[in-house]
Amino acid sequence: MERITWDQFFMAQCHLLAVRSTCTRLSVGASIVRDNRIIAGGYNGSISGGDHCIDHGCYVVDSHCVRTIHAEMNALLQCSKYGIPVAGSTLYVTHFPCLQCSKAIIQAGIQHVIYATDYKNDEYALKLFEQSGISVQHIPFDDKKVDFSSDRKLDLFNEMLQIMQALGVGPEELSPYKQRVDDLFEK
């Protein structure tokens, strides 16, 4: 397996954090990084000890779940709680930050925002980032770079295709499956 870049490493951490999300509408993870070290992480979920969307459903007001705290805010608040300065750091996040999180990111002194997925990218947030001199970069996350069992999966798929062929499944019937396996594993 080839060594991943720092950006892919930190983005992988964000996606792992997103798995902790308790929101049923969208799972988001965020990491704050300084000097190639993670100083905080967060995911979208309820306040500590509060009701979670996965247990009680989303509490939606004006098309927003007000039960949850966004991943970016959770990471920033974690720094605040433990007295960790964030000025000059980089925020990695699975999805483009909402307007409110964007303003908090700016006020906290974050210098770089790197996100994996476009999500309702707010034009005003982009304008505020630009006015504040904060670089914003879209780096799609390549989950194949952190799939530690991809070789075994590919071997299994190829073995199954060979068995299907040995059982008499014709090349024209196997071709779409072979193509899907090739696409999945970028072969």
pLDDT, one tens digit per residue, over 76-132 is 999 999 999 999 999 999 999 999 999 999 999 999 999 999 999 999 999 999 999
Query: What pTM value is reported for the model?
Result: 0.84
Q: Any idea of the CA torsion for 115, 1, 147, 149, to the nearest 10 degrees?
A: 180
- Tally Cβ neighbours within 10 Å of residue 148: 7
- The C-alpha atoms of residue 41 and residue 71 are separated, in whole angstroms, by 8
Q: 8-67 pLDDT, tens per residue?
A: 999 999 999 999 999 999 999 999 999 999 999 999 999 999 999 999 999 999 988 899
Active site residues: 72
Helix (H, G, I), strand (E, B) or coil at 1: coil
Contacts of residue 157, Cβ cutoff 8 Å, sequence gap at least 6: 181, 184, 185
